[in-house]
Amino acid sequence: MQEFFTFLLAEWMLSATFLVLLLMLLWGVAAPSVRGFAELKPAEIVKLINNDDTLVLDVRSENEFIDGHIVNAINIPLTYLVKRIDELGDDKERQIVVTCKSGARAKGACSTLKKEGFTNVCALAGGLMAWQHDKYPVAKGKSKRG
């Protein structure tokens, strides 16, 4: 055991790098259960969207939304989400897919929705950039729903 600690001290940079990588790996595995929502790839999102009851929520700005969004998505910018939460309806168990440009704002929105009592939320991993990269269709213009 003494040799192990001697090695850790002598090779502190290697030890620190290993520890950081280990923590990143553990966080990647544990994060969905800790956060309470999943990040799904575009192909998985398509399966959810094909269920008529799934709501797609785009949390980008209105101008970003108008330039291109997932078909039938509604737009509530992240900064207004709490104020406009009632636009999502009363069914707190409804499947909600949250998207943005790259996925970062969607994760924040998912956390907010979970705090507001919504139980079935997920984020589009990689956001609309991943969606378009995988050649899925986008619509332009304002939302027709919500």
Q: What is the CATH number of the domain that holds 42?
A: 3.40.250.10
Kindly report whether the global pTM for this prediction surpasses the value 0.85.
no
pLDDT level of residue 26 (50, 70, 90 thresholds): low
pLDDT level of residue 146 (50, 70, 90 thresholds): very low
Nearest C-alpha neighbor of 109 from the set 12, 39, 10, 18: 39
pLDDT at 2: 81
Q: Compute the distance between CA of residue 105 and CA of residue 54 in angstroms, rounded to an integer.
A: 19
Q: Compute the distance between CA of residue 58 and CA of residue 101 in angstroms, rounded to an integer.
A: 9
Q: Does 141 map to a domain?
A: no
How many structural domains compose the chain?
Answer: 2
Residues 29 and 49 in one domain: no
Check 88, 96, 97, 100 and give the catalytic one: 100
110 has catalytic annotation: no
Between the CA of residue 47 and those of 14, 51, 53, 73, 127, what are the distances in Å?
Answer: 43, 7, 12, 15, 16
The first and second tokens of residue 39, run together, are: 């990040």
Domain of 91 in residue numbering reads as 37-133
